[in-house]
Amino acid sequence: MYRYLGELVTRVAANGALASGCVDFALPASAALTRVRRYSAAVTDQEDDPNFFRMVEGFFDRGASIVEDKLVHDLKTRETPEQKRHRVRGILKIIKPCNHVLSVSFPIKRDNGEWEMIEGYRAQHSQHRTPCKGGKFIYKFTLYCRKRAPDINAHACVTGKPISQGGIHGRISATGRGVFHGIENFVNEAAFMSQLGLSPGFGDKTFVIQGFGNVGLHSMRYLHRYGAKCVGVGELDGSIWNPNGIDPKELEDYKLANGTIVGFPNANPYEGSILEADCDILIPAASEKQLTKKNANNIKAKIIAEGANGPTTPEADKIFLERNIMVIPDMYLNAGGVTVSYFEWLKNLNHVSYGRLTFKYERDSNYHLLMSVQESLERKFGKHGGAIPIVPTAEFQDRIAGASEKDIVHSGLAYTMERSARQIMRTANRYNLGLDLRTAAYVNAIEKVFKVYHEAGLTFT
């Protein structure tokens, strides 16, 4: 319920590089505009260990450099070509940095008696659409402030809540389920599979997962259910391997009982890096920068599905493109969690569960439809053969019973992931990007955010 606190309370040691990344905001206007036009050499050509912020900047620059000319061409304004380009570059410059960054400091007392100051950060990158994944911080917030305007500028929005506290069914598995749907959309696309030398579908696919937490477990569960075979799982304390397949339920039960996957009886210990194991699909679902220039040439998988945030460095990303390996990018693939969090937010705004107002109406409508068909057939043919009962199939009977909230959430998530995948595919084809799905995803995002800023208008001071 309070998982966002973990994002807020970020140790300085883990984020020390953030300060160097923020220096970019102070660049002169000319330098900043130049950076928007190119894939940042400082990130991609000189470093294999950039911080996550600089990695995103580099990927943004690459997408912006590709889409800029199209944005200029599509502007329907009475401006000169030079003025249009200034407008496009200006909006791209607005999109790139964070709008708001909040820094907080507070003390903690460790178990050994030592006192330590903790610094945390909350960044709201863009506010062209709300809600932001963040919060407000007000010094000495009092009951008086809350009383005077309880319905304006609500001061908290938490998702991932228990069902009894306004949560939503399907949120726990949402990120892993989104990973599955994201892989599914590309694995079933014959045009992309032919470029990799693979056949469409999950039936003959093997996969390896690094990280057996929430994302890894549910990704493994759904992939296994639809026919793919998990041959390896890696965690910080060890990895396991079974070429005949690992059952996700058995592994989950073992980890719950033992606190580790090490020693799992239905698999063998794996020596070496599980990332470099032989498989069709590799799912890094643990932490940042796991795939780097050092190990990119040793990766045997043909598909890398980024369940974690930023598992691939820009240098490794370039190597994968050169080696004809398809990377399904994190900004798309692990969006299932925030998508269902959005559904939860909408549910809370409406103060009613999904489907509650329509369950009975839809069920009765379906029965009336069947009765109408039966009566029509009996009027036409019944005098020759008696009654003609119309009996729903077992599958249709389940649907007649009414979609549960979980059914609606799963359907909405699947549709969202499919629609986004189609947009990425179209963009990749339009700009002749081949297997560079990351750049295609960034181009899509830039086009959407640019359109909102341009059409909403800007105020200058």
204 and 84 part of one domain: no
Mark whether 206 and 95 lie in a shared domain. no
Model pLDDT, residue 46: 52
182 shares its domain with 323: yes
Q: HEC string of 156-215?
A: CCCCCCCHHHCCCCCCCCHHHHHHHHHHHHHHCCHHHHHHHCCCCCCCCCEEEEECCCHH
Q: CB-based burial of residue 195 (10 Å sphere; 0-12 exposed, 13-18 middle, 19+ buried)? A: middle
**Residue whose entry in the numeric block shows the structure tokens 């090490």:** 262
Q: Are residues 128 and 178 in the same domain?
A: no
175 labeled part of a ligand binding site: yes
Q: Do residue 149 and residue 185 come from a single domain? A: no
Domain boundary among 103, 134, 158: 158
- Structural domain that includes position 199: 174-337
Query: Does 154 share its domain with 42?
Result: yes
Per the annotation, does 214 bind a ligand?
A: yes
**Confidence at residue 284, expressed as pLDDT on a 0 to 100 scale:** 97
pLDDT in the model for residue 185: 97
Backbone φ, ψ for residue 84 (5° rounding): -60, -40
pLDDT in tens, the chain (461 residues): 333 333 333 333 333 333 333 333 333 333 333 333 343 444 444 566 788 889 999 999 999 999 999 999 999 889 999 999 999 999 999 999 888 888 889 999 999 999 999 988 888 888 888 777 765 545 455 555 555 555 555 556 788 899 988 999 999 999 999 999 999 999 999 999 999 999 999 999 999 999 999 999 999 999 999 999 999 999 999 999 999 999 999 999 999 999 999 999 999 999 999 999 999 999 999 999 999 999 999 999 999 999 999 999 999 999 999 999 999 999 999 999 999 999 999 999 889 888 888 878 888 888 888 889 888 888 877 666 677 888 888 878 777 776 788 989 999 999 999 999 999 999 999 999 999 999 999 999 999 999 999 998 887 75
Out of 306, 337, 368, pick the residue that ends a domain. 337
Give the pLDDT score at 155. 53
State whether 216 and 154 are in the same domain. Answer: no
The letter for the amino acid at 64 is A
- Same domain for 234 and 193: yes
Q: What CATH number should be reported for the domain holding residue 259?
A: 3.40.50.720
Q: Do the annotations mark residue 20 as ligand-binding?
A: no
Number of domains forming the structure of the chain: 2
